[in-house]
A and B are shown apart, each in its own frame.
Chain A
Amino acid sequence: MDRVALRTQIKELIIRELNLEGKTPAELDDDAPLFGAGLGLDSLDALQLAMAIEERFQVTLPEGDEVRPIFASVGAIADFVARSKPLATATG
Chain B
Amino acid sequence: MRVFVTGLGVVSPLALGARATMVGLMQGKSAFGPLTLFDTSDQRTHLAAEVSGVTVADVAPATHRATWSRTDAMAVVAAREALAEARIDPRRDEVHVAFGGTTGGMFETEQLLAGMVRDPSRREPHALMLSHPLSATSDRLQSAVGPFPRARTLCSACSGGANAILLGADWIRSGKSARVLAGGADGLCRLTFTGFNALGAVAPDRCKPFDRHRAGLGLGEGAAFLLLESEDSVRARGAVPLAELSGWAVGSEAHHITNPEEAGATAAALIARALERGGVALSELDYVNAHGTGTPLNDAMESRALRRALGAEIGRVAVSSCKGQIGHTLGAAGAIEAAMTVLSIAQGELPPTGGLEEPDPECDLVHVMREGRRAEVRAAISNSFGFGGTDTVLLFTRPGLVTRPARSGTASDEGRRPRVVVTGAATFGALGLLGSRGSLRYVEPGAPPSGEPLRFEAKEHFDLARARRMDRASRLLTMAMQTALGETEGARPDTAEIGAIAGSAYGNVEASAEFVQRIYEKGGRLASPMAFPNLVPSSPVGHAAIYLGVRGPVLATLDLGVTGEAAIALACDLIEAREAPAMLAGSVEEQSGITEHVLGPVCAGSSHWAGVRSEGAAAILLEDEAYAARRGATPICRVDHHASGRGGFARGAAALPAPTRPALVVLARRDEATLGALAETPWRGVPVVDVAGRAGHHEGLGALAFAAAVGVLGDGRAEQVLVLGLAPDRWVTLVLVRP
Contacts and interface: CB of A to CB of B under 8 A. Distances in A.
Contacts of A51: 198, 525-529
Given A22-B459, A54-B526, A47 B468 contact: no
Contacts of A27: none
A47 B259 contact: no
Contact of A21 (B468, B525, B533): B468
Interface stretch (A12-20, A28-36, A71-79, A82-90): A12-20
A44 B259 contact: yes
A24 interface: no
Contacts of B257: 44
Contacts of B469: 19, 44
16 contacts: A18-B530, A21-B459, A21-B468, A22-B459, A22-B464, A44-B199, A44-B258, A44-B259, A45-B530, A47-B530, A48-B528, A48-B530, A51-B198, A51-B525, A51-B529, A54-B526
A47 to B, nearest CB: 4
B526 A55 contact: yes
B213 to A, nearest CB: 13
A73 to B, nearest CB: 20
Nearest to B526: A55
A18 B258 contact: no
A63 interface: yes
Contacts of B655: none
B449 interface: no
Interface residues of B, number: 21
Given A21-B464, A40-B465, A43-B259, A48 B459 contact: no
B529 A48 contact: yes
Given A55-B522, A63-B200, A44 B530 contact: yes
Contacts of B199: 44, 47
A56 B613 CA distance: 37
Interface string A50-65: 0100110000000100
Contacts, number: 45
Interface in B527-545: 527-530, 533
Interface residues on A, range: 10 to 19
A55 B525 CA distance: 9
A45 B526 CA distance: 14
Interface string B193-217: 0000011100000000000000000
Given A44-B529, A44-B533, 8 more contacts: A17-B530, A19-B469, A20-B468, A21-B459, A21-B464, A42-B256, A51-B528, A54-B525
Contacts of B528: 48, 51
Interface in B440-498: 458-459, 464-465, 468-469
Contacts of A47: 198-200, 529-530
A57 to B, nearest CB: 13
A21 B530 contact: no
Q: Is chain B's interface secondary structure helix, strand, loop, or mixed overall?
A: loop
Most buried by B among A21, A43, A44, A48: A44
A73 B97 CA distance: 53
A51 B519 CA distance: 13
Nearest to A63: B200
A42 B530 CA distance: 11
B468 A18 contact: yes
Interface string B499-532: 0000000000000000000000010011111100
Interface string B171-204: 0000000000000000000000000001110000
A21 B456 CA distance: 14
A18 B530 CA distance: 8
Interface string B252-274: 00001111000000000000000
A86 to B, nearest CB: 22
Nearest to A18: B468
A4 B469 CA distance: 29
Nearest to B462: A21
Interface in B233-263: 256-259
Nearest to B531: A48
Contacts of B258: 44
Contacts of B259: 42-44
Contacts of A45: 530
B458 A21 contact: yes
Nearest to B533: A44
A42 B297 CA distance: 14
Nearest to B466: A40
A21 B259 CA distance: 23
A53 to B, nearest CB: 11
A35 B327 CA distance: 32
Interface in B632-672: none
B15 to A, nearest CB: 35
B297 to A, nearest CB: 9
Contacts of A19: 468-469
A47 B169 CA distance: 39
B142 to A, nearest CB: 38
A90 B259 CA distance: 34
A66 to B, nearest CB: 13
Contacts of A43: 259
Contacts of B256: 42, 44
A22 B468 CA distance: 11
